[in-house]
């Protein structure tokens, strides 16, 4: 059966989630308190309704309990975001993902029981910063305050070298988890494997060490 999604708040973030879910063939209910936003997404979403989701009866009458996943993408109005999330938790929605505006907002959302809190502006900022430090960094995933996984494109400086030559584990405490080469992906690279310019390395390590490695090698 198709998964049913509901997206509350049709700003840039919520709106792009609605569009992408639609492209992926999912059923998506788009909700906003603002009529213009609702009209804008009427043709994109499976259904679009105007509603204030801080009202519990409104939420229940939408049958929100029956959705597999509800995304709260209310931006600047932190109070509405928190109230809506609290109500969804109380109603017992299975999966609730909420966009946080700042660290305090994030803390409150986690405490009241949001299943997942996302922080797209901060995360994108971190990614872009890494990308500015090194043009070869393609993607970045924060595991904790200290550790991350990065996707780095191998440049000319490492072309023709093996993992033994580079000795990343000893020099930087970083591990290469996988190497992508075109369509191929090697998930257990051997120490003797030779890297090629253009390979994409998936590296895990401490942020400080990754940054050092980025600056030295990529
Ligand atoms: P983004 O940064 O993703 O563009 P934004 O900063 O534009 O988001 P807002 O405009 O603050 O975010 O909020 C997103 C949407 O949430 C708005 O279209 C707003 O009308 C809607 N919204 C705010 N409060 C409620 C509410 N109580 N019920 C439903 N929708 C709401
Ligand atoms: P160590 O003695 O450092 O534990 P090892 O006994 O695992 O190394 P090899 O597997 O032969 O020895 O690897 C030799 C060196 O090659 C490692 O010390 C490491 O620096 C580097 N290396 C091998 N595989 C990887 C990897 N996946 N990611 C990062 N470095 C690697
Ligand atoms: Ca915003």
3-state SS assignment for residue 200: strand
ipTM score of complex: 0.65
Mean predicted lDDT score pLDDT of the chain: 94
Work out the average pLDDT over 8-36. 97
User: Which residue's CA is the closest to the ligand 1 atom numbered 3?
Assistant: 13
Residue-level pLDDT at 124: 87
Stretch(es) of the chain classified as CATH 3.30.70.1450: 123-217
| Number of the ligand closest to the Cα of 179 | 2
CATH class in words for 123-217: alpha beta
Which residues does a 6 A CB cutoff place in the pocket of ligand 1? 8-14, 31-34, 37, 52-54, 74-77, 80
CA of 32 to the centre of ligand 1 (A): 7
Residue-level pLDDT at 138: 86
Give 193's contacts (C-beta < 8 A, 6+ positions apart): 162, 163, 179, 186
Residue-level pLDDT at 148: 93
Q: Count, in order, helices (H) and strands (E) of the chain.
A: 9, 11
CA of 120 to the centre of ligand 1 (A): 15
CA of 192 to the centre of ligand 2 (A): 9
Distance of CA 31 to the CA centre of its chain: 21
Q: Can you give the pTM of this predicted structure?
A: 0.73
Distance of CA 153 to the CA centre of its chain: 21
Cα atoms in the Cβ-side hemisphere of radius 13 Å centred on 106: 12
3-state SS assignment for residue 19: helix
Residue-level pLDDT at 23: 95
CA of 183 to the centre of ligand 3 (A): 37
Helical residues (DSSP H) of 10-162, grouped into ranges: 12-23, 35-41, 56-61, 78-91, 103-112, 120-133
With cut-offs at 50, 70 and 90, classify the pLDDT of residue 172. very high
Q: Say how many C-beta atoms besides its own lie within 10 A of residue 78's C-beta.
A: 16
Work out the average pLDDT over 49-58. 96
Residue-level pLDDT at 137: 85
4-118 folds as Rossmann fold (3.40.50)
């Amino acid at each position: 059966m198709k998964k049913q999604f509901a997206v509350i708040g049709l700003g840039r973030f919520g709106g792009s989630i609605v569009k992408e879910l639609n492209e992926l063939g999912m059923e998506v209910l788009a909700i906003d308190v603002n009529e213009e936003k609702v009209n804008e997404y009427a043709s994109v979403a499976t259904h679009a309704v105007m509603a204030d989701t801080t009202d519990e009866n409104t939420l229940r009458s939408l049958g929100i309990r029956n959705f597999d996943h509800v995304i709260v993408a209310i931006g600047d109005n932190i109070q509405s975001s928190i109230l809506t999330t609290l109500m969804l938790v109380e109603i017992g929605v299975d999966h609730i993902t909420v966009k946080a505006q700042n660290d305090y907002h994030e803390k409150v959302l986690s405490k009241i029981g949001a299943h997942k809190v996302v922080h797209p502006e901060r995360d994108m900022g971190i990614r872009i910063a890494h990308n500015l430090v090194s043009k070869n960094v393609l993607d970045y995933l924060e595991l904790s305050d200290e550790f991350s996984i990065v996707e780095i494109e191998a440049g000319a400086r490492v072309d023709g070298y093996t993992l033994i030559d580079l000795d990343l584990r000893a020099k930087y405490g970083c591990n290469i988890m996988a190497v992508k080469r075109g369509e191929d992906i090697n998930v257990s690279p051997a120490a003797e494997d030779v890297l090629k310019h253009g390979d994409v390395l998936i590296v895990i390590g401490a942020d400080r060490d990754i940054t050092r490695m980025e600056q030295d090698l990529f």
